[in-house]
Amino acid sequence: MAPEKTCVNFLESSKPYFAMIFLQFGYAGMNIITKVSLNQGMSHYVLVVYRHAFATAVIAPFAFFFERRAQPKITFSIFMQIFILALLGPVIDQNFYYAGLKFTSPTFSCAMSNMLPAMTFVMAVLCRMEKINMKKVRCQAKIVGTLVTVAGAMLMTLYKGPVVEMIWTKHIHSHRTNATTNITGSSNKEWFIGSILLIIATLAWASLFVLQAKAIETYKNHQLTLTSLICFIGTLQAVAVTFVMEHDPSVWRIGWDMNLLAAAYAGIVTSSISYYVQGLVIQKKGPVFATAFSPLMMIIVAIMGSFILAEKIFLGGVVGSMLIVIGLYSVLWGKHKESMESKGEEDIPIAVKEALQVDGNAKTVIDAIDFSEVKSQKAIVISMPDIPESPIKDNHETKA
């Protein structure tokens, strides 16, 4: 194979990986900026509204110009799918996540988000998108990984522990502790409440991934349109929720400050762009793969939070994060093995169908497969049980 073609194939297969890595950097920046904005007094209900208003304004023109032809007909069933997607993502997930972020810290919030793959796996099993066979090691790995992930989340929720000093944070903490108490400090009660809110947000996020995989079947050629509809309907839902929860008109006031930056950044980067890219990755790799890179966000936020917010990292968070990451990659290992096995099982029947015509008395099946890329043939011999030779063959030999 030519080196140029090998390079092109490598880049093509690497696109989902690079896309998810870049998204984690985007999510990390959102966590830091949003934490500062929330601690300056911005209502998280209003932030969700502005975030998705920005997202709709950015993504809708692209959907109109590039995908206005052959639009799928919006039936009641499809509308309800989009309505529930908007309710799970913009309204439930983000409101609970922002409330949990306000009570805890960016690093802790990201660590709790690492429960997402395990929750997605459980939701996929309940929706029969994943099959369980306890005799298979890969299935055992996914189940054990899910349990370890939940154990890590519970440890982080119930145990805070002493502060863990990093090498690069000792000097920063000694000079900025008093200045940043209001930014990162939380009582144990608030920390527990924040943990519960983050778990609920992650559960809603996992449900969003599973349902989005279903909606993509209808909008597989109109990803921008689907993203625009989710953001627009989510904005309307968030407005309704804000009117119910916030009765002070002044909460809607926004200027050229951190609040505007938080809303614009979250809307453009982590709503419009992330929903679109996330949909493409789910379509190609599935919902479990799309959740595999969340530990990277936790590492990025931990480093940024230490420098920017002088954030304190606690022992319970470190140990719990390690358990969550171990469980996460146990689930992903099982998922990888499953995809390899399913790929092999798909290849064999195709080869057999293309083989020579074989009757029930055959001893072997010889399959000639033409690999178009290397212009070669490969013979696959599948052993069959010993079967007495047929009378037809005996008669033929006798006549001969």
pLDDT tens digits, one per residue of 305-338: 777 766 777 788 788 878 878 887 787 788 777 7
Tell me what the mean pLDDT of segment 332-359 comes to: 60
Beta strands 364-371 and 163-164 are: unpaired
Tell me what the mean pLDDT of segment 57-70 comes to: 86
Would you give the DSSP letter of residue 38? H
Q: Residue 366: pLDDT above 90?
A: no
- Yes or no: say if 114 and 149 are a contact pair by the CB < 8 Å rule: yes
Strand partners, 371: 376
User: Residue 30 contacts by C-beta under 8 Å, 6 or more apart in sequence?
Assistant: 262, 265, 266, 269, 270
Query: What is the model's pLDDT at position 232?
Result: 92
Distance between CA atoms of residues 233 and 8, nearest Å: 39
Distance between CA atoms of residues 33 and 18, nearest Å: 23
Task: Decide: residue 12, CB within 10 A, 0-12 exposed, 13-18 middle, 19+ buried.
Answer: exposed
Distance between CA atoms of residues 37 and 4, nearest Å: 48
Look at 51-65, 248-262, 283-297, 340-354 and tell me which has the smallest mean pLDDT.
340-354
Largest CA distance in the chain: 104
pTM above 0.75, yes or no: no
- Yes or no: say if 292 and 117 are a contact pair by the CB < 8 Å rule: yes
Of residues 372, 367, 330, the one with CA closest to residue 151: 330
Look at 192-201, 222-231, 279-288 and tell me which has the smallest mean pLDDT.
279-288
Q: What are phi and psi of 379, to 5 degrees?
A: -100, 125
Choose between 189 and 264: higher pLDDT.
Answer: 264
Q: Residue 225: pLDDT above 60?
A: yes
Query: What is the model's pLDDT at position 328?
Result: 76
| Gyration radius (Cα) of the chain, Å | 26
The domain locations on the chain are: 15-348, 356-399
Would you give the DSSP letter of residue 130? S
- Tokens encoding 52: 């998705």
C-alpha dist (Å) from residue 323 to 108, 147, 204 = 14, 10, 22
Query: What is the model's pLDDT at position 287?
Result: 66
